[in-house]
Chains A and B, each alone.
Chain A
Amino acid sequence: MTCISCAGAALDRGGMTLTRRESSPIPVEADSICPDRFIGLNEADIARLPAFYGRRQVTLGDLFEIEGVGATDITVTGDLAAVKKIGHGMTMGRVTVEGPVGQHTGARMTGGELVVRGDAGDWLGAYMAGGRIIVEGNAGHFVGGAYSGDTKGMRGGTILVKGDVGREAGGRMRRGLIIVLGDTGEFTAARMLAGTVFVRGRLGARAGAGMKRGTVVAFGEVAELLPTFRYTCTYRPVFMRCYLRRLRETGLVAEGELEGELFRRSIGDLTNGGRGEVLVRAERE
């Protein structure tokens, strides 16, 4: 008996393309668009997988034209701004979304790669535990966040957003890495438990509010730090060099896209033990 991952790998490596048949603002829940769900299925089988169109249960075939073979490389095109949960819970393979996509994209994923060639809605990669998400545009609120009732947000993996993100990115994050090349909204890494958030643009106000452990790194401007963060020193964190080198090696960031040697370190949130840290890039004097 083979595991799901092995079975997926054993399938042919051709591509599967799903094209949205029409444009509509009515929300679609399409958590069936996931490599794990496509394993061993042909076009007709995939067309019969369930989806929700508003409150109505439909099939993927009702909403998408489906062509191609294989489960490990899926491309989704058309008007997807209202399509939610693409790549939800995926464990392997690659999903490419051509254009803006709706909420909960890549939420709860544990492996594989999800690429969005546009903007992504709220809850991108919420509660994810592994794999990699790359968004070439902006993302909404709660990137890598925790769902209501969950005590933890993102638990592993990497999210790269090349544009801006909304508020509470990395909220209750437990592990993993979020990189935002643009600006972040308020409460970045709020109540963070551990993990790392890099922000190249402007770090929004009240970052790290209530954080227990973990690291927020600001490479650019910082709106303000809460008074419950205390400056400790300006130094050269060696672990940052490890991160930056690894990010360049894996191709996540280009040479010169994220740089910094000297950082101002503040610890906090002192209302929650003060074992977290915010590093703000400093210039050499």
Chain B
Amino acid sequence: MMRVNGVEIEDTFAEAFGMWGARLVVTAETLEWARTAGAAATGFATSIIGCGCEAGINELVRAQDTPDDRPGIIVLLFTMSRAAMEQQLMLRIGQTIMTCPTTACYDGLPDGEERFKVGGKLRYFGDGFQRSKLLDGRRLWRIPVMDGEFVVEESFGAAKAVGGGNFFIMAGDLEHALAAAQAAVAAMRGVPGVVMPFPGGVVRSGSKTSSRYKGQHASSNTPYCPTLRGFEKSDLREGENAVLEIVIDGLTSDAVAEATRVGVVAACCDGVLRISAGNYGGSLGQFKFALHDLVSA
């Protein structure tokens, strides 16, 4: 049996799926405004089940590392299809980043396999007064707005990515589960190329892909609900009274693997009894992340 800090690491694996990922560089006059734009752009983007995409802020970028020498953030956005990616980029850049004071938005995946015209469509907001500049082969649109100009790149790249990496934290009580989850997320935020799309990076309403109700595609993950022990088949052990899940989306499987490793190790805190992971028996997902392999690597 594998243990880290006395916490059992279950011999199982997380099953993840192929998605499309985009990387946006959002800059603003101050880091605070860049963060505000990022928070708006990644709001209501926890799960593709109901939000159309999964998104999060990946990292802060120093002014000297952005295209316009201003402080910025990296936003990662994941969808299941190319069509959904185009739609989500248009909606989120147009409705949240463009509306936020002083921002600009640049493509962070110039070598992506697919390109989606975003600035090239948003430009029409300029009502004929938009201007473009071609800088080293990249076209930037300058759309007049009330605080000056919104600069947005003509098109954004997207690449095949990985979504749905995960692990569960089983603790004796909610306080210890929360502390462990927060420690894990804090550690994982240092890994480039991944986001944890749920609120604060943590999800409590893990789901299974079946329901007793017609038309309901996802339902409560009953085997992991401590309040249902005794009614339903439970995967929880004696003493496990709170479970939190961390879901990981990444631009590459290596990034997801590294984030999982970092997160699992960081989550092995006092009061945590076991770390597990969600899968469908290995029959559905293209990517498998075995916890033992990752932690012992």
- A residues adjacent to B (C-beta < 8 A): 175, 196, 213, 215, 235-239, 241-246, 275, 277
**Do the beta carbons of A238 and B136 come within 8 Å of each other?**
no
**Do the beta carbons of A241 and B69 come within 8 Å of each other?**
yes
**Do the beta carbons of B104 and A246 come within 8 Å of each other?**
no
**Do the beta carbons of B104 and A238 come within 8 Å of each other?**
yes
Residues of B within 8 A of A246 (CB): 67, 135-136
**Do the beta carbons of B69 and A239 come within 8 Å of each other?**
no
**Do the beta carbons of B133 and A196 come within 8 Å of each other?**
yes
Residues of B within 8 A of A275 (CB): 131
Residues of A within 8 A of B140 (CB): 239, 242
Say whether, besides A245-B68, A245-B69, A238 and B133 are in contact (CB < 8 Å): no
Question: Which of A175, A239, A245 has a CB less than 8 Å from the CB of B149?
Answer: A239
**Do the beta carbons of A238 and B134 come within 8 Å of each other?**
no
**Do the beta carbons of A238 and B131 come within 8 Å of each other?**
no
Interface centre among A215, A237, A242 (most CB of B within 10 A): A242
**Do the beta carbons of B131 and A213 come within 8 Å of each other?**
yes
Say whether, besides A196-B133, A245-B69, A239 and B142 are in contact (CB < 8 Å): yes
B59-71 Cβ-contact flags toward A at 8 Å (1 or 0): 0000000011110
Bound-state CA distance A243–B67 (Å) is 9
Interface centre among B68, B136, B149 (most CB of A within 10 A): B68
Question: Which of A235, A243, A244 has a CB less than 8 Å from the CB of B148?
Answer: A235
Residues of A within 8 A of B67 (CB): 242, 245-246
B151 within 8 A of A: yes
Bound-state CA distance A175–B137 (Å) is 11
Smallest Cβ-Cβ distance to B133: which chain A residue: A239
Smallest Cβ-Cβ distance to A243: which chain B residue: B135
Residues of B within 8 A of A239 (CB): 68, 133, 140, 142, 149, 151
Bound-state CA distance A275–B128 (Å) is 10
Bound-state CA distance A245–B151 (Å) is 15
29 examples of A-B residue contacts, CB within 8 angstroms: A175-B134, A213-B131, A215-B133, A235-B149, A237-B142, A237-B149, A238-B27, A238-B68, A238-B70, A238-B151, A239-B68, A239-B140, A239-B142, A239-B149, A239-B151, A241-B68, A242-B68, A242-B133, A242-B140, A242-B151, A243-B135, A244-B69, A245-B67, A245-B68, A245-B69, A246-B67, A246-B135, A246-B136, A275-B131
Distance in Å: Cβ of B250 to nearest Cβ of chain A: 28
* CB < 8 Å A-B pair total: 45
Interface residues on chain B, number (Cβ under 8 Å)? 16
Bound-state CA distance A256–B63 (Å) is 17
5 further A-B pairs in the complex, CB-CB below 8 A; given A213-B131, A237-B148, A239-B149: A235-B148, A238-B70, A245-B68, A245-B69, A246-B136
Residues of A within 8 A of B27 (CB): 238
Bound-state CA distance A277–B130 (Å) is 12
- Within B92-138, which residues are at the interface with A (CB < 8 Å)? 104, 131, 133-136
Bound-state CA distance A275–B142 (Å) is 13
Bound-state CA distance A14–B142 (Å) is 44
Residues of A within 8 A of B68 (CB): 238-239, 241-242, 245
Distance in Å: Cβ of B201 to nearest Cβ of chain A: 31
Distance in Å: Cβ of B106 to nearest Cβ of chain A: 8
**Do the beta carbons of A238 and B149 come within 8 Å of each other?**
yes
Smallest Cβ-Cβ distance to B128: which chain A residue: A275
Bound-state CA distance A213–B132 (Å) is 10
Residues of A within 8 A of B136 (CB): 246
| 6 nearest A-B pairs in the assembled complex, by CB-CB distance | A241-B68, A238-B151, A235-B148, A242-B68, A238-B104, A241-B69
Distance in Å: Cβ of A90 to nearest Cβ of chain B: 19
Bound-state CA distance A275–B144 (Å) is 13
Bound-state CA distance A160–B67 (Å) is 21
Residues of B within 8 A of A245 (CB): 67-69
**Do the beta carbons of A238 and B148 come within 8 Å of each other?**
yes
Distance in Å: Cβ of A154 to nearest Cβ of chain B: 13
Question: Which of B131, B135, B148 has a CB less than 8 Å from the CB of A236?
Answer: B148
Residues of B within 8 A of A215 (CB): 131, 133
- Within B18-72, which residues are at the interface with A (CB < 8 Å)? 27, 67-70
Residues of B within 8 A of A213 (CB): 131
Interface centre among A213, A239, A244, A277 (most CB of B within 10 A): A239
Bound-state CA distance A215–B149 (Å) is 15
Distance in Å: Cβ of B101 to nearest Cβ of chain A: 12
Interface centre among A237, A238, A243 (most CB of B within 10 A): A238
Bound-state CA distance A164–B248 (Å) is 57
Distance in Å: Cβ of A108 to nearest Cβ of chain B: 19
Residues of A within 8 A of B134 (CB): 175
Bound-state CA distance A245–B131 (Å) is 20
Distance in Å: Cβ of A26 to nearest Cβ of chain B: 41
Distance in Å: Cβ of A196 to nearest Cβ of chain B: 7
